[in-house]
Structure 1
Amino acid sequence: MAGPKAPKDPERKRAYFYIMKDKDIYGSVQEDGSIIHFIYESDGRLINSAQIAGNIENKEELGLLETVEGFGRLVHSIGVSVETDNQNEQIEFVFQMYGKQDLYGGGTNLKVKLTGDGMERKIYLSDYKWTPDDDIPGQIKFIFNTPDIMGKASVRLYLNDGYEAPADIEETEVDMNSDEYCRMISHSLMNMGNAYRIRKAIEKTRAGKEVTLAYIGGSITQGAGAAPINTECYAYKSYQLFQKRFSAKNNVKFIKAGVGGTPSELGMIRFDRDVLRDGQQPDIVVIEFAVNDEGDETKGDCYESLVRKVLNLPWKPAVILLFSVFANDWNLQDRLSPVGKLYDLPMVSVLDAVSPQFALKNDEGRVITKNQFFYDMFHPGNAGHSVMADCIEYLFEKIDQAGHASLNAFELGLTEEKILQEKLNLAPVIGNSFENIRLLDKKDIYAKAYIDEGGFDSTDTQLQSVEMDDQLSLTPEFPYNWMYDGTKNTLNRVKAYFELEMECRALLLVFKDSGEVNVGKAKVYVDGEYHFTADPHINNWQHCNAVIIFNNKTSENHVVRIEIEEEDRDKQFTILGFGYVL
C-alpha cells in the first residue's frame, strides 16, 4: 500500500482583477456549424472591462492592456470559470490576439478546456510562445459542444509581480421591483410628446386587431450583449411587455432590424428592405441610433430624414426616439433630440435613467452598477437590456394613463394628428435631404440606371449577418451585391472597375468593410473627377459601410466609376449597394 504523496508547493497568491464577472453567455450556432459565444476586446473594450468589472484606475496597468506586448508584461495567468445547468458540459475558452498583418490569423490563441461546474481553470502565459505578428488583444470565445446552452462566466487576470489591483467589490442583486428602481426608470421619459399615434395603436391592440412593433438601430437593437440575443434583447422584451399589458388576443407582431456598427446613414437606406419587408406596415417604430451616429457625415440630416420617412408613411405609424448609452455615459441625444422636439415625438433616454445613479460615490441610492448594466463598453448585458425595455414600457404606461388629447391640441383647435402634419410641413431642424432615399442593388434595380459591372461580376457570400426579429438564425445583409474578385479571376484585373450612370440628386455607396488581408481599396470618381477612396480596412471588421458620393440640390445625370487601385487588383472589393434620391 502506497503512502501519502507529498503535496505540491502551493501557488502563491497573486493580485488579480476581473474583466468578466458573472456574465451571461449563450452557445449560438454559427454559419459554419460551430457553437460560440463571442466577446470582443479590441477598440478599448478590454480596458473598459478592467475599469468596470475590475475597478482598475491605474493608468499604467490600463495602458498595458492596449497591446499584446503590454498584456504579457502585466498578466501572469488568466483564470476562467463557467457555470451551466449541466456541470459536465464541455466548453473551450479561447482568448484570441489579433495580428498586425493578418488580423484574425496572425495572433496567438490562449486556450483552456472547461466544464460547466463553476471551477476556475488557469491559462499560464509562460506556456505560450508569442507570434511575431501579435498586435492587440482581440476577442474571447466560449466554444460549446451543445447548442443553446446558457451559462455564467467569469474571467480574471492574475498579475505579475510588481503590479497591484484593488480589492474585489461585492455587488447586491438588482431589485427590479423596488421603489428606487421605478424612480430610476421614470427619469428616462424625456418627452411624452404627441401620443395620438401610440394611443391609436394601443386601442387597436385592445380591440383584438393586429398591431406591429418595429425596432431599427445598431448593435444594441440587434441585441449585442444579450444572451440569448433573440429573446433577452431590449427590443424583444419591450414587445413582450407591450403585448402582456395591452394585447387582447396575442395579436402583437414583432420586427427587429438592428445591425451592428451601422448609423442612420445606413439605416435610412435599409429601412424599406429590413422593416417594411414582405409588405409589413408597423404601427410603432422605435429608432435607436443615439450611440451609432458619431461618424454620420451629415451630423443628423440622415437621422431626421429617416424619422420623417417613417412619419410620412401612408398608414401613419408612431415613432419613438430611443437614446441608448455607452459605458462612458455618452450618447448623442443633445444632437438628435431637437428632431424629436420639432415633431413633438415620444423620446426615451436610457442615459438620463442610469447615468446619474452610476455617478453616486457610494452604494446608497445606486440601483444598478455599470458592471451589472453593461456587457462591455458599448452594449448592455441582460440586466441592461431589461432596463431599456422597462424604460420604453414606462412611456407606454404614461401614455395609456394620460388624457386623450393634449392641452396644445385644445388651444390650437386642431386634432393631434393635424398638429403633427403641420409640424412635418415646417422646415427640418437639421435636414431632410434623404427622406425619399431608395436602395439600388442587383435585386432592386432602378430602370433608368445604366450599369456596367466591369470586373465586379461575382457575388460576395461572406457578409455581415444578423439575427432578425425573434430568430437566432442569421440573415446576411446586402446579399444582392457586386463583388470584384482579383484573387481568383485574373481576367477581372483588366476590367477592375464598376460604372453606374443615372440621373439623381444624391447618391450613397454601401461597401463591405473587412479585416481580411485579401481585401483591397477602390477609388470613386464622379464624371471623371476623383472624389474619395473606399478603404475596407479603416474600420477593419466585416460590416456594411455607407458613404455619401454626392448630395446636390438638383437632380442631374452623373457617371460614377468605382475602380480598384492598381496595387490591389489581386484582391477583393464588394459593392453592397447604393442609396439614391431622385
Structure 2
Amino acid sequence: MADHGTTAANETEGPAAPQDPAVGRRGLYILYETMIEATIRPDGKYTQEIYLDGSQLVDKARFTGGVTDETILELLKSSSGLRRLVDCIGISVHAHERDVSSALFTFWNWGKANPYETGSRQTITCPANGTETLLVLDDDECRYSDDHVPGKFVLEFERGGALATASIVFYLRDGYQVPEVAADPPVDVESQAYQDMIKKSLISPGHNKRLKAAIEKAKRGEPVTIAYIGGSITQGAGAVPLHSQCYAYQSYDLFKRRFAPAADSPMRLIKAGVGGTPSELGIVRYDRDVLREGEVQPDIVIVEFAVNDAGDETKGNCYESLVLKALRADHKPAVILLFSVFVNDWNLQDRLAPVGWHYNLPMVSVKDAVTEQFRYSKEQGNVITKRQFFYDIYHPTNAGHRVMADCLGWLFEVTDRSSIDEEDLTDVQSPLIGNDFALTKLLDRRNGDRFARIDPGGFSDIDTDLQTAEMDDHAYGTPQFPHNWMHTADSGKHSFKMTIRSKSLILVYKDSGSRAFGTANIWVDGKLKKTADPHEVNWTHCSAVILYNESKSEEHVVEIQMAEGHEDKRFTILGFGYVP
C-alpha cells in the first residue's frame, strides 16, 4: 500500500503466520483496545494512521505497554533493532458496523535514502471481526538495507467513516520479557470519585459577569456562540469520530443541554483548532477562524494553548496578546483559559496561568484534575488510567476528551450557581508579559495588495497541498491558508518582495516532508533575518516566525528568495500577520 502516490523500495504482502507463534507469549501492546476511524486521505484512500517515528513508538511502548527495560526501548528506535526484537505483529480489528468485513494493515518503515518515499512496507489483510492476524517479520538485514526507522502503521478500509476498535501487539523473540497488560475497568463517570476529580480542575472561576450573561442568554433561548481556539487537542485529535467526540463539541453540547430551553435553541459552535501550532499562529488567524472576518461575535471564547506554546518565540507575549484580542472585543465575550496536558504530566500552566490571574479570568486545568490520580492504583483511588485517557502521548481518547468537557462543564455549573459580579472586569492594567501582537491582522494573496506593495516574483503559483483542520462540527478538513504564494521548480530565481508599514510582522510558511521543498532566505531591509527550512518539522504544517517586533510603525522591505542550490525547489509563503 502506497501513501500519497509514493512507491516503496521494498513492499511485500505478509502472509498470516500460523497461530502458535503468539500462543502463551506475553505481548508488547502498541495500541490497546483503541477506537479508530477511517478518514479520507489526499490519495483518496480511507485510513487510520498510527505514527511511530521520532519518540512515538518508544513512548507507546512505555505508556501503553508498560515497558521500562531500556534495552527493549533502544531496539525500538531503529528498523533493524525492531526486527531483532519482534518476531511477529498481532493485529486485531473489530468493526462497529456489519458492512465492514476487513482492513488492510501496513507496517511502513521510513527509508534512509528518502524517508517517506523509500523503505519497506509489509501488508496483510485482517478480518474485522476481532480475530487476531499475525504478520511475521523478517530479520534479514540485507533484504531491508534501506530501512532506517519504523515509520507508521496504516489500517485501510473500503469506505470513509468506518469505526473500529483495534489492538496492535508485538510478540517478542526469545530472551525478551515485557510486563503483562491487564484490562482497565470502565471509567465510572457517575461516581463520586469521578466528580471529585473533575472539581479539582477549577483553578479559578474568575470574574463571572460575562460568562453568566452567556448562560442567561442561553436560558432565554437567545442565540449563543461558543468559540474554541487552540492546537490539535482543540481540533479534536484522538477523538473518534473527531467532530462529535472532541472536547469542544462535547462541552458545547453539554452547555446547550444544561442551559438551553429546547433542543433547537439557536446555539453555534466555532471550533478553530489547528494541529501543532502555537498562539503565535493563533493570533494571526483569530479574525479569520474565530470571528469569521467580523461575521461572528462569540459569547464565550475558550483558549487552549497550554501544550502547544513551547514553540512560541515570545514566551507568552503572543498568548497574552491573543487573550486581550478576545477580551477587548466590543461585544465583551467571556474568555476562559483551558490548560490541557501531555502523557508525561507536562504543560505550560506555570507560564500561562499568571495571565489569567492578572485579568481575573476563569481558568480550567485538566492537568490539575487528572495527574495526581494517575499515580494511584484502583484501590488507592485511581479514576482513569493514562492508557484510558491518552490516545497517544499528546492527545486524549474519547474518554479523555469527555474528562476535558466535564471540567469545562464544572466551571459552567459553578458560575451558574454563583452570585453575579456586578462590575465588568477591566483590562486597562499594564500587560503582564506583553501585548505587542493584540492588533495583529492576516495578510495573504487575497487582501495583500490593500495593505502592502507586493511583487510575488518567482512565488507566483498557489499551493493546494495544505495542512487541513476539521473546523466547527465538520467531519471534513478545511485547508489552512489557501490564499498563498508558492515558488516551484519552474518559477525562476526572482524573489518575493513586499513593502509594508507595520510595527510587527509574522511570516507563516509551509513545512513539508516532501523533498521537492527547499530552503529560503528571508531578508528585512537588506539584512538576512532568517533561513527558513521547511524540513525542520518535516510534515505538512503551518509554521509561524517573527520577522520583527518594534515600538513604532515604520516602512519595511521584506524579500524572500530561495537559498543557493535550492532554486529548483518549492517553498510556500502561506501569509503574514502584521500589526499596523
Identify the TM-score tier after normalising by the shorter chain: over 0.9
* Cα shift at 1:130: 5.1
Partner of 1:432: 435
Consecutive unaligned residues of structure 2, counting only runs of 5 or more, are 1-17
Partner of 2:153: 140
Aligned partners of 1:181 and 1:309: how far apart in 2?
Answer: 35
Identify if the C-alpha distance between structure 1 residues 9 and 194 changes in structure 2 by more than 3 Å, giving closer, same or farther: closer
Q: Is the CA contact 1:28–1:147 (under 8 Å) kept in the aligned structure 2? A: yes
* Cα shift at 1:42: 2.2
Partner of 2:203: 190
Matched residue type, 2:207: N
Partner of 2:321: 305
Aligned partners of 2:376 and 2:20: how far apart in 1?
Answer: 40
* Cα shift at 1:494: 3.1
* Cα shift at 1:503: 1.2
Partner of 1:96: 108
Partner of 2:471: 468
Q: Percent identity, aligned pairs only?
A: 48
Deviates more, 1:97-106 or 1:259-268: 97-106
Partner of 1:500: 498
Partner of 1:409: none
Post-superposition CA distance 1:434-483 (Å, at most 9, x none): 00000000112252411111100100000001111111111100000000
1:169 aligns with 2:182: yes
1:268 aligns with 2:280: no
Q: Is the CA contact 1:507–1:578 (under 8 Å) kept in the aligned structure 2? A: yes
Partner of 1:29: 40
Aligned partners of 2:53 and 2:35: how far apart in 1?
Answer: 20
Aligned partners of 1:342 and 1:220: how far apart in 2?
Answer: 25
Post-superposition CA distance 1:148-200 (Å, at most 9, x none): 22110000011112111112222111111100000000000011000110100
* Cα shift at 1:307: 0.2
Matched residue type, 1:399: T
* Cα shift at 1:330: 0.2
Aligned partners of 1:208 and 1:446: how far apart in 2?
Answer: 43
Q: Is the CA contact 2:119–2:147 (under 8 Å) kept in the aligned structure 1? A: yes
Partner of 1:244: 257
Q: Is the CA contact 2:340–2:365 (under 8 Å) kept in the aligned structure 1? A: yes
Identify if the C-alpha distance between structure 1 residues 298 and 9 changes in structure 2 by more than 3 Å, giving closer, same or farther: closer
Aligned partners of 1:380 and 1:100: how far apart in 2?
Answer: 32
Match 1:532 to one of 530, 533, 536 = 530
Q: Is the CA contact 2:493–2:562 (under 8 Å) kept in the aligned structure 1? A: no
1:416 aligns with 2:423: yes
Partner of 1:84: 95
Query: How do residues 214-233 of structure 1 correspond to structure 2 at under 5 angstroms?
Result: 214-233=227-246
Query: How do residues 106-117 of structure 1 correspond to structure 2 at under 5 angstroms?
Result: 106-117=118-129
* Cα shift at 1:107: 2.1
Aligned partners of 1:448 and 1:210: how far apart in 2?
Answer: 35
Consecutive unaligned residues of structure 1, counting only runs of 5 or more, are 1-7, 406-414
* Cα shift at 1:362: 5.7
* Cα shift at 1:372: 0.4
Partner of 2:5: none
Match 1:318 to one of 334, 342, 349 = 334
Matched residue type, 1:454: G
Aligned partners of 1:39 and 1:390: how far apart in 2?
Answer: 27
Q: Is the CA contact 1:467–1:475 (under 8 Å) kept in the aligned structure 2? A: yes
* Cα shift at 1:115: 1.7
Aligned partners of 2:292 and 2:109: how far apart in 1?
Answer: 39
Q: Is the CA contact 2:110–2:150 (under 8 Å) kept in the aligned structure 1? A: yes
Q: Is the CA contact 1:103–1:516 (under 8 Å) kept in the aligned structure 2? A: no
Q: Tell me, what secondary structure is at the counterpart of 1:43?
A: coil
Matched residue type, 1:548: I
Aligned partners of 2:93 and 2:423: how far apart in 1?
Answer: 54
Q: Is the CA contact 1:264–1:306 (under 8 Å) kept in the aligned structure 2? A: yes
Deviates more, 1:69-78 or 1:460-469: 69-78
Q: Tell me, what secondary structure is at the counterpart of 2:412?
A: helix
Q: Tell me, what secondary structure is at the counterpart of 1:190?
A: strand
* TM-score after normalising by structure 2: 0.93
Deviates more, 1:123-132 or 1:390-399: 123-132
Q: Is the CA contact 2:77–2:149 (under 8 Å) kept in the aligned structure 1? A: yes
Aligned partners of 1:350 and 1:461: how far apart in 2?
Answer: 36
Partner of 2:137: 125
Aligned partners of 2:290 and 2:385: how far apart in 1?
Answer: 34
Q: Tell me, what secondary structure is at the counterpart of 1:367?
A: coil
Q: Is the CA contact 1:323–1:349 (under 8 Å) kept in the aligned structure 2? A: yes
Partner of 1:257: 272
Matched residue type, 1:93: F
* Cα shift at 1:218: 0.3
* Cα shift at 1:50: 1.0
Match 1:555 to one of 539, 553, 556 = 553
Partner of 2:11: none
Post-superposition CA distance 1:62-111 (Å, at most 9, x none): 12212212211211110000111346522111222223342221122232
Matched residue type, 1:427: S
Q: Tell me, what secondary structure is at the counterpart of 2:129?
A: coil
Aligned partners of 2:77 and 2:260: how far apart in 1?
Answer: 50
Q: Tell me, what secondary structure is at the counterpart of 1:269?
A: helix
1:202 aligns with 2:215: yes
* Cα shift at 1:202: 0.5
Matched residue type, 1:494: K
Partner of 1:4: none
Q: Is the CA contact 1:509–1:546 (under 8 Å) kept in the aligned structure 2? A: yes
1:63 aligns with 2:63: no
Partner of 2:565: 567
Q: Would you identify which runs of 4 or more consecutive aligned residues in structure 1 move more than 3 Å?
A: 8-15, 85-88, 127-133
Partner of 1:511: 509
* Cα shift at 1:543: 0.3
Q: Is the CA contact 2:505–2:577 (under 8 Å) kept in the aligned structure 1? A: yes
Partner of 2:15: none
Matched residue type, 2:531: T
Post-superposition CA distance 1:539-575 (Å, at most 9, x none): 1111000000011111111111111012111110000
Query: How do residues 337-376 of structure 1 correspond to structure 2 at under 5 angstroms?
Result: 337-360=353-376, 363-376=379-392
Identify if the C-alpha distance between structure 1 residues 10 and 159 changes in structure 2 by more than 3 Å, giving closer, same or farther: closer
* Cα shift at 1:13: 3.9
Partner of 2:14: none
Identify if the C-alpha distance between structure 1 residues 212 and 335 changes in structure 2 by more than 3 Å, giving closer, same or farther: same
Q: Is the CA contact 1:264–1:296 (under 8 Å) kept in the aligned structure 2? A: yes
Partner of 2:309: 293
Aligned partners of 2:281 and 2:108: how far apart in 1?
Answer: 30
Q: Is the CA contact 1:101–1:517 (under 8 Å) kept in the aligned structure 2? A: no
Q: Tell me, what secondary structure is at the counterpart of 2:245?
A: coil
Aligned partners of 2:178 and 2:198: how far apart in 1?
Answer: 34
Aligned partners of 1:10 and 1:380: how far apart in 2?
Answer: 35
* Cα shift at 1:49: 1.2
Partner of 1:5: none
Q: Tell me, what secondary structure is at the counterpart of 1:39?
A: strand
CA RMSD of aligned residues (A): 1.6
Post-superposition CA distance 1:315-367 (Å, at most 9, x none): 01111100000000000000000000000100000000000000125643000
